[in-house]
Structure 1
Amino acid sequence: MSREVDEVNQAIAVELRLMDPTVRASRPLARQLLAPDFAEVGSSGRRWTYDEILAAMPEMDGATESGPRYEPSEFAGVLLAPGLVHLTYETMLDGDRARRSSLWRKRDADGTWQMYYHQATPVPSDSV
């Protein structure tokens, strides 16, 4: 397996982990997957900082086993540089569709992956 395929697959695995309700409901688990300089532009257009998203994530959709869960599809990834992966994919959550983009960095110290940036764009229901 090539380095690019291997690193893209690792980034997809941690992206999926971040969608797990157990991780979303746990600030300590989510903290492991987000870089301290993390930023997000959510599907609402709101800009989130690291501290804001960690505080809000346990209350957001997708954070409970019994509630709506993210249904990801169409993952694609590109290795931009060693240890830096750009992912794109789509999600459905409670009937709402979004196109998503994430940047993941591998930490040199221990080789773990952390999300540096995330953006979600809502997809109108009549769109392809």
Structure 2
Amino acid sequence: MSHAADEIREAIAGELRLMDPGVRTSRALAGQLLDPEFIEVGASGRRWTYEEMLAALPELDGADADGPRYEPSDFTGVLLAPGLVHLTYETTHGEKRARRSSLWRKQGPNAPWQMYYHQATPFPPENT
């Protein structure tokens, strides 16, 4: 497997970990996956910072271990530069669907992959 494919696979693994209720409810675990300069534009249109997201994540959709989880599909990834991966995919959560885009970066050979930017755009179930 190529180096680019390895980096894309690692970014997807991080994305999937962020959908895990056990990670969403743990500030320490989520904090390891989010870049300190993290920004998100959520499906609601709200802009989130690193601190805002860590504080709110345990209460957001997908955090309840017994509730509905995000169901991701159609992942694609592109290595934009060494240590910078762009992912796109779709999620379903109950009746809600969203197209998602995120940037993952790794700032050094021993640094972890962290989500630097995320954006979600809702779309109706009948629209594909």
| TM-score of the two chains, using structure 2 as the length reference | 0.97
1:47 aligns with 2:47: yes
Paired AA for residue 2 in structure 1: S
**Cα separation, 1, equivalents of 2:67 and 2:33:** 22
* Matching residue of 1:121: 121
Number of residue-to-residue matches in the alignment: 128
> Any runs of at least 4 consecutive aligned residues in structure 1 with deviations exceeding 3 A, and if so which?
none
**Cα separation, 2, equivalents of 1:81 and 1:113:** 14
SS in 1 for 2:14: helix
* Matching residue of 1:36: 36
* Matching residue of 1:69: 69
* Matching residue of 2:110: 110
SS in 1 for 2:57: helix
1:13 aligns with 2:13: yes
**Cα separation, 2, equivalents of 1:33 and 1:125:** 29
Across the aligned residues of Structure 1 and Structure 2, the Cα RMSD in angstroms comes to 0.9
Paired AA for residue 49 in structure 1: T
* Matching residue of 1:3: 3
SS in 1 for 2:4: helix
Tell me how far 1:94 sits from its aligned partner: 1.4
1:99 aligns with 2:99: yes
Tell me how far 1:110 sits from its aligned partner: 2.4
| TM-score of the two chains, using structure 1 as the length reference | 0.97
- Identity rate, percent: 69
1:85 aligns with 2:121: no
